């Protein structure tokens, strides 16, 4: 699987953020092929405990945005769960994640449909293969990740957004070494960092959320197409000031009604975080395209 720096040409921010809105979403890595399955206990969604104690502001908006764009530099391991509700699409899901960054990137992510109370999807990266498991179809795809791309350096000091010669806005997305799939919306929220422009938001204060200090950011969508698609004009983000991880997001319309939301239910970092583990059900059918299976077999035989 090819993993490269993603340069997104956009006159609209439509492809950035809230993964569920897009059948095709431009990521820093290509969507892989996979496998997976692990029995899961499906619990009713719970509300994250929040502390409303106000604490002094700790950083400016530019620094906070940089934290979000490079969140994977600010922790080694992270695990937890979050609930995502996309009212325009009728989506209500819980995402459980275990992600390792650093020198040994790994990930394991489960997506549960809260309406049907069932596990619908699972993805995993084991350091060599990316697995994509569809539980409702009992199928999986498996893709070998190219080792050549792992050494590709990313210069985070270069501009992450600029205009090309045609005057079109370009977003430069950083690759995710752990291939954390849906979990990126929370643990590597660069899509949402791109929502922030110099004039469309402000940090209104800091709070305590899940025992983490978070900056509360209020803003207004400048992109008309995105606003129409999301049925929202304004947004509020709660961003962990230490790591840049997104702990909560609400989009609202002109009536101040919440149309879309993400809320982290639990989260642990580093030593307290669960390590990524994954097991594939024997009964699931391999739906990896035959030409990819043949290519993998040829690669394995050549390595002998």
CA angle, corner 147, sides to 144 and 150, nearest 5? 120
- Name the CATH topology of 6-42+50-271: outer membrane lipoprotein receptor (LolB), chain A (2.50.20)
Q: pLDDT at position 169, please? A: 85
At 156, is the pLDDT very low, low, confident or very high (cuts 50, 70, 90)? confident
- The residue with tokens 């129409």 is 228
Q: pLDDT at position 18, please? A: 57
Q: What is the DSSP string of 39-95?
A: --------PPPEEEEEE-----HHHHHHHHHTGGGS-SEEEEEEEEEEGGGTEEEEE
Rg of the chain on CA atoms, in Å: 19
254: left (phi over 0), alpha (psi -120 to 50) or beta: alpha
pLDDT digits (tens, 9 = 90+) for 1-58: 444 456 555 444 555 565 555 433 333 344 443 333 333 333 333 344 444 444 445 5
Decide if 110 contacts 95 (C-beta within 8 A): yes
Decide if 20 contacts 185 (C-beta within 8 A): no
pLDDT digits (tens, 9 = 90+) for 51-98: 444 444 557 899 999 999 999 999 999 999 999 999 999 999 999 999
Domain ranges within the chain, ordered by starting residue: 6-42+50-271
DSSP single-letter state for residue 13 = S
pTM: 0.80
Q: pLDDT at position 45, please? A: 38
pLDDT digits (tens, 9 = 90+) for 265-300: 999 999 999 988 899 888 899 998 765 555 555 554
């Amino acid at each position: 699987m090819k993993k490269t720096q993603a340069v997104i040409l956009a006159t609209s921010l439509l492809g950035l953020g809230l993964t569920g809105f897009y059948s095709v979403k431009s990521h820093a890595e290509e969507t892989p092929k996979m496998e997976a399955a692990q029995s899961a206990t499906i619990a009713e969604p719970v509300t994250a405990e929040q502390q409303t104690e106000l604490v002094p502001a700790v950083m400016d908006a530019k620094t906070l945005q940089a934290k979000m764009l490079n969140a994977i530099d600010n922790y080694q391991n992270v695990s937890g769960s979050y609930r995502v509700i996309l009212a325009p699409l009728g989506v209500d899901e819980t995402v459980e994640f275990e992600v390792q960054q650093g020198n040994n990137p790994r990930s394991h992510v489960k997506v549960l449909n809260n309406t049907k109370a069932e596990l619908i999807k699972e993805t995993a990266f084991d350091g060599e293969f990316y697995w994509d498991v569809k539980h409702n179809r009992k199928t999986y795809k498996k893709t070998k990740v190219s080792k050549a791309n792992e050494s590709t350096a990313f210069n985070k000091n270069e501009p992450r957004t600029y205009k090309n010669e045609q005057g079109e806005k370009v977003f430069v997305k950083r690759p995710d070494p752990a291939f954390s799939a849906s979990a990126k919306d929370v643990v590597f929220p660069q899509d949402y960092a791109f929502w922030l422009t110099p004039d469309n938001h402000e940090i209104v204060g800091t709070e305590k959320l899940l025992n983490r200090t978070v900056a509360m950011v209020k803003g207004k969508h400048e992109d008309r197409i995105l606003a129409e698609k999301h049925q929202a004009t304004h947004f509020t983000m709660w961003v962990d000031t230490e790591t840049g991880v997104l702990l909560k997001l609400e989009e609202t319309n002109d009536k101040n009604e919440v149309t879309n939301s993400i809320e982290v239910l639990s989260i642990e970092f580093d030593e307290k975080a669960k390590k990524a583990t994954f097991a594939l059900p024997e009964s699931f059918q391999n739906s990896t395209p035959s030409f990819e299976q043949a290519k993998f077999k040829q690669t394995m035989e050549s390595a002998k």
